[in-house]
Structure 1
Amino acid sequence: MDWDSYRGCWQNSIPGEDVEPEEGEESPGLPPITITDLASFSPAKGTILGEPDNLGVAGLPTNFVTEAETHVRSGELFGFPIDVRFTPVSYTFHYGDGESDTTSSPGSSWESLGQAQFTPTDTSHTYTDRGTYDARVDIAYTAEIDLGVGWFPIDGRLDIPGPTQQIRIFEAHTALVAHTCAELPSAPGC
């Protein structure tokens, strides 16, 4: 990016005062901006939700979704007003059992996909054992800045870890029976 063509717009000067820099002297301007300079603008953290209701069944898929959108933060950087636009580009789902998956999708609910509960999705995970797991989603953002003259991309990306969410996984046991418990009190499950 050619920042030099925009630096003149952001020189420190007093209105009405036309001060020319002396020969060989550079006028003060905006220093180079890196992706790490923009971390202080705090892009949104992703909150993970396991369907249904942060519960699951061992051996069946638990669906994970997060909400992340392009958003703008405003503030000052190096003494200049600036807007920073963060765009989510990837999501790393950490399931809490040592497994993780990186995807370009924040996930979708079973309802919005038109799927039945406990069916696989692009962001679902199947736990093998019952227990409580600390799951989270880390979101990678790209950034653009606006100094009042339009949006300019900044090289790199910011990886923002999300807070953990406890996911409780239960075991389910089923049995086929020929009689109700009232008819045969010694039947399985009675």
Structure 2
Amino acid sequence: MTSLSLAVIGALPASSSDEAIDTPIGSAAISTGNTVVISGTQTQTSSDGPGDSAPRPGSPPSPASPVHEFDFDTCLDDWNSSRGCFRAVVDEEPSSPGADSPAAPVITIDDLAQFAPDPVASEGEPDNVGVAGMPTNFIAAASVHTRSGTLFGAPLSVRFTPVGYEFVHGDGTSATSSTGGQTWSALGQSPFTPTSTSHVYSERGTYQAHVTVRYAAEVDLGGGWFPVAGDLTVPGPAREIRIFEAHTALVAFTCAQRPSAPGC
């Protein structure tokens, strides 16, 4: 904005001393005898200065300045219009530790097969021998098992806990249990009495029995144990079970007293 001041000082003819003087708006006329002083101020808006940011009425809007990569020389040559030289800075949230590192692979139950516990052999009581028509008691001595090693290039520990057993009897039948069973003595029972893991063979013969143990798994990568989905099954080796027929006979003496007695 520019202000202009105008002052005109002149002498009036003597005959005009009583005439009215017309002055423009914004000016003042002062008469002192034969001299008139006219002063005024005019305000106008400049459109040439660098500070002119408002468009003139009726003028078309200026196109938006393109955003481009900062180039110092270009900005100097086109200082007034290259607003794209000054880019807004967006504050980024601080990255969490390890955010740029690759994600750890997901560990599956199949990945842990290399750490599997050794197979467990079942035992048929008594001494892997039974009597047809009478219970044979099966036992599997599986327990919690921990191993350490390396997986995907990182050290870890694996802990297996038995959670289920499948006893395969070798005669076409099988039975599942949540425990590996106990001996008759540990249960406080007499031989050839039923247990939760016993089986009755209907015929004499030799059978190949085995047990498959099902394990739940946990891993520790250095920050504590966490479970892995699924179960790992480990089949045990076959165990030969011999089943005999029992015949009763009325005898007068025991086998200790007469070893040659029937049935001795």
* TM-score of the superposed pair, with normalisation by structure 1: 0.80
Question: SS state of the match for residue 138, structure 1?
Answer: strand
Residue 17 of structure 1 corresponds to none
**1:82 alignment partner AA:** L
Matches within 5 A, 1:89-168: 89-168=163-242
Determine helix, strand or coil for the equivalent of 1:102. Answer: strand
**What corresponds to 2:246 in structure 1?**
172
Partners of 1:44 and 1:68 within 8 A in 2: no
Deviations 1:91-110 (A, max 9, x none): 00000000100010100000
TM-score (norm: length of structure 2)? 0.58
Match of 1:48 among 122, 130, 136: 122
Deviations 1:2-43 (A, max 9, x none): xxxxxx6xx7xxxxxxxxx7xxxx423421111110011122
Cα 1:131–1:189 change in 2 (3 A) is: closer
Which has the larger displacement, 40-49 or 124-133? 40-49
Distance in 2 separating the partners of 1:40 and 1:29: 23
One-letter amino acid of the structure 1 residue matched with residue 226 of structure 2:
F
Which is greater in Rg? 2
Give aligned-pair identity as a percent.
60
Equivalents in 1 of 2:250, 2:128: separation in Å?
A: 28
Residue 118 of structure 2 aligns to a residue whose secondary structure is: coil
Deviations 1:54-77 (A, max 9, x none): 000000000000111111011000
- List alignment gaps of at least 5 residues for structure 2: 1-96, 254-260
TM-superposed deviation, 1:189: 6.5
Paired residues of 1:30 and 1:78 also in contact (CA < 8 A): no
SS at match of 1:145: strand
Within 2, Cα distance between the matches of 1:156 and 1:43?
16
- 1:81 aligned residue: 155
After superposing on structure 2, the runs of 4+ consecutive aligned residues of structure 1 that deviate more than 6 Å are 187-190
Asked if 1:36 corresponds to 2:110, the answer is: yes
- The 1:27/1:90 distance shift into structure 2, 3 A limit, reads same
Report the aligned-residue RMSD: 1.9
Contact 1:94 1:137 in 2 (8 A): yes
CA contact (8 A) 1:45 1:162 kept: yes
Aligned residues: 161
The 5 Å alignment of 1:6-25 reads none
Higher relative contact order (CA 8 A, sep 6+): 1
Q: In the superposition, relative to structure 1, how do residues 109 and 189 fare at CA in structure 2: closer, same or farther (>3 Å)?
A: closer
CA distance in 2, matches of 1:189, 1:120: 25
